[in-house]
Chain A
Amino acid sequence: MRKARKLVSSIAFACLLSSTASTVALAAECSDTIKVLAQPRDGLTLLEDYKAEFEKLSGGASFEIDYLNENDRRAKTKADASTIGKYNVYYIDEANVALFASAGWVAPLLDYYPADYDYADFDPGRQKVATYDGKVWFAPITGGGDLMVYRKDLLEAAGITPPNTLDEYIAAVKKLNQPDQGIYGTALRGQRGSGANVWRWMPFFKGFGGNWFDGKTPVFDGEQAIKATETYLELFKYSAPGSQTGGWDEAVGAFTSGQVAMLIESTPLVGMAIDPKSSKVAGKVGYLPPPAPLTGGGYGHGLAIGAKANKDEASKACAGLFIAWATSKENENRRLEANQFSELNRTSIMTSKKFAELYGPDLGQALADTGKVTAVNFWQNPQWPDLGDRWGIILEELITGTRTDIKDGLDELDGFAKELVARSQ
């Protein structure tokens, strides 16, 4: 027994020594400022309060985060990563991970992500969208699927039970739309972009059985896409003003300001809608998985190691350490304490007692249920942003009425997709 204790203490001492040695080795090389290009997230802002902690952990390195909104962040990361490579860490997402990975703009994350930080603890869906070509490229800082979020008071007053099917949903949206009383049936995204209007359109397209490509042949130009677009345009008749060229901010803003009866949006909406600090309708909100046959738009955003700015292995290790610390269990716990629902990604946190105390069992159940219908709706290819953005423009034209022929729009996209495939060969 004494021998066994001795052995255990020797192993523990050896582990302590080796971890100290590795920290010392890291301290010798990890002392510069890590530059991060990201989009605004409460979780990242919160990190800035703990700079000293990272400085101590890394042996002297600090970090600076530049923020740009989603579309600008996408453009700037692409421009920076392909040219000067000023940033050590990029905020990337499911839609451009394939592009960044295949172009060599980011380094494989797990090669530099310290094992102690337990990457396997992240939600499996988010791990899936962070993986391309068999390798993991980013550590999630937000992600999830879709939820149908509705105003319980308005539905009750109108005698409507929360819809389970798309037909019921459309009927409810029409009935609840009362512009003269400042209430709109729904709020959609009309703003161009693969991560904007196309993101909200895709659950209809995939839900109706549509597919983007069969091998290298585009197959999206069919009945499913037409039906999806017709349905989306039909719902836009009841969408809040400003959403026709608006994105997430406009749709969510219209709901949380009490002007929308129900909408289907990415899961972080719930956190905002039930928080009295950001929502006028907190306490009146219900949530369910998207009505059948809609699929949820599985997504994940996270931090990746820039390949150009981190020229040597030591710099990559520094960036990896920063990402690991930023997405660690400790920092996620802080986000949970700060009631930052949308910034939670780890299974251990989302199944914790504290999470259940804060958000109640309903939300946990709704998230579990929506996980079953969450899917990868987009074309997992480096050229997806190009194709998605082109469809975004055509879709915006259809929404705002500068184009009326859906088939003509899809044919144009089909021609563009063929050209895109030819260009990549």
Chain B
Amino acid sequence: MKQKNSLPAVFLTPAMMILAVLAFVPTVYAIYISLQNRELSRPVGDFVGIANYIDLFSDRRFINAIGVSLTWEAVTVGMTLIVAVGLGILLFECAAPRMRNILALLFLMPVILPRVSAAFVWKFAFHPLYGIATYPYKAITGQPLDLLSNPATALATVALVDVWQWGLFFSVIVLKLLETLPPQPFEAARLDHARTWEIYTHIAIPMLKAPLISLAFVKMIESLRAFDLIYVMTRGGPGITTETLDMYAFSQGFIESGRISYASSMAVLMMIATSIAFTFIWKRVQ
């Protein structure tokens, strides 16, 4: 009996130790150097307490990055779910099973594409002079369309690529979820003369609430790591209009200043903020 009880610990301990090393060592080290004034060119630094954290709140680029990151999260998560649910329902309602499978395969393609490749493909597609996506506008109006250089459209344009990758992928998941639902509630609703939109609003989507929330969480975490997409497409520009927190931290750490302590303080704040936010949302949902 005693042997049986210790078995989970035997299996869990190595994995937990690896996790602890991978997760805690960098975290603790990041906190440690965030309290110093280390730079890449000056690896030995002095302790400066919370000076880096205080400086962050008078840094206009940091304040801007918070706003950009929040906007990015809201837009990409929201749009991805809207596209996923809309397309999933459309496929479920309008496509025959064979066509659904073909379309599902096509919809999986964008997410299989590496992010950096997708970013380059779309960056060229949006080029105002040679881009295929901007060509129709240029052909009709005679004017070039420079979406990535325009502060009003740059973030939305990059978000479009993100939604193209994840919205189509999630629509396949939503389709498969709809296919697993029992048909009886739908039949009953149809007998009661419910319209199609009413069936989905009042029956199907409430039945899929739990998996949709899970999808939203997955996308929220994924959207936090959109660095590669933004870096390739805009590098945070025009100006700082698409500079997210991770971009700015990387910029401070490795591109511009080599201020690794300052960059670490941003990383630590991001970690704390996301942990609190996710815990809060998770509890609310539960």
Identify the closest chain A residue to B128 (Cβ).
A241
Q: Interface majority SS on B: helix, strand, loop or mixed?
A: loop
The one of B40, B130, B142, B146 that contacts A79, using a Cβ cutoff of 8 Å: B40
Identify the closest chain A residue to B43 (Cβ).
A82
The docked-state distance in angstroms from the alpha carbon of A103 to that of B234 is 31
**CB atoms of A257 and B258 under 8 A apart:** no
Determine the chain A residues whose CB is within 8 A of the CB of B144 once the complex forms: 179, 241-242
Contact status of A403 and B129, CB under 8 A, knowing A82-B43, A241-B146, A245-B148: no
**CB atoms of A75 and B254 under 8 A apart:** yes
- Residues on A lying within 8 angstroms of B by beta carbon are 71, 74-76, 78-79, 82-83, 99, 102-103, 179-180, 190-192, 240-242, 244-246, 254, 257, 259, 382, 385-386, 389-390, 393, 396-397, 399-403, 423
Contact status of A180 and B238, CB under 8 A, knowing A241-B128, A244-B149: no
**CB atoms of A78 and B234 under 8 A apart:** no
B257 within 8 A of A: yes
Tell me the smallest distance from the CB of A220 to a CB of chain B, in Å.
18
With A79-B254, A385-B256 known, 13 other A-B pairs at CB within 8 A are A71-B235, A74-B255, A76-B254, A190-B149, A192-B237, A241-B128, A241-B149, A242-B144, A245-B235, A257-B129, A259-B129, A389-B257, A401-B151
Determine the chain A residues whose CB is within 8 A of the CB of B255 once the complex forms: 71, 74-75, 389
- Which of A180, A254, A400 lies at the interface centre, i.e. has the most chain B CB atoms within 10 A of its CB? A400
The docked-state distance in angstroms from the alpha carbon of A274 to that of B212 is 58
Determine the chain A residues whose CB is within 8 A of the CB of B5 once the complex forms: none
Q: How many A-B residue pairs have CB under 8 A?
A: 91
Determine the chain B residues whose CB is within 8 A of the CB of A192 once the complex forms: 235-237
**CB atoms of B149 and A242 under 8 A apart:** yes
Contact status of A382 and B41, CB under 8 A, knowing A242-B127, A245-B148, A400-B149: yes
Determine the chain B residues whose CB is within 8 A of the CB of A390 once the complex forms: 256
Determine the chain B residues whose CB is within 8 A of the CB of A242 once the complex forms: 127-129, 144, 146, 149
Identify the closest chain A residue to B143 (Cβ).
A179
A–B Cβ pairs within 8 angstroms, 21 of them:
A75-B255, A99-B41, A102-B41, A103-B41, A179-B143, A192-B235, A241-B129, A241-B149, A242-B127, A244-B146, A244-B149, A245-B148, A257-B129, A393-B61, A396-B238, A397-B240, A400-B241, A402-B240, A402-B241, A403-B239, A423-B37
Tell me the smallest distance from the CB of B124 to a CB of chain A, in Å.
11
- Which of B146, B149, B234 lies at the interface centre, i.e. has the most chain A CB atoms within 10 A of its CB? B149
Tell me the smallest distance from the CB of A71 to a CB of chain B, in Å.
7
Q: 3 closest A-B pairs (Cβ-Cβ)?
A: A400-B238, A397-B239, A241-B128
Determine the chain B residues whose CB is within 8 A of the CB of A82 once the complex forms: 40-41, 43, 258
Determine the chain B residues whose CB is within 8 A of the CB of A190 once the complex forms: 149, 238
8 A Cβ contacts from B149-168 to A: 149-151
**CB atoms of B129 and A191 under 8 A apart:** no
**CB atoms of B41 and A245 under 8 A apart:** no
Determine the chain A residues whose CB is within 8 A of the CB of B41 once the complex forms: 82, 99, 102-103, 382
Identify the closest chain B residue to A245 (Cβ).
B149
Determine the chain A residues whose CB is within 8 A of the CB of B43 once the complex forms: 82
8 A Cβ contacts from B234-282 to A: 234-241, 254-258
Identify the closest chain A residue to B134 (Cβ).
A241
The docked-state distance in angstroms from the alpha carbon of A423 to that of B45 is 12
The docked-state distance in angstroms from the alpha carbon of A403 to that of B241 is 11
Determine the chain A residues whose CB is within 8 A of the CB of B256 once the complex forms: 385-386, 389-390
The docked-state distance in angstroms from the alpha carbon of A352 to that of B255 is 40
Determine the chain A residues whose CB is within 8 A of the CB of B237 once the complex forms: 191-192, 245, 396, 400
The docked-state distance in angstroms from the alpha carbon of A148 to that of B239 is 27
Produce 1/0 per residue, B72-93, CB < 8 A to A: 0000000000000000000000
**CB atoms of A393 and B128 under 8 A apart:** no
Identify the closest chain B residue to A105 (Cβ).
B41
Identify the closest chain B residue to A388 (Cβ).
B256
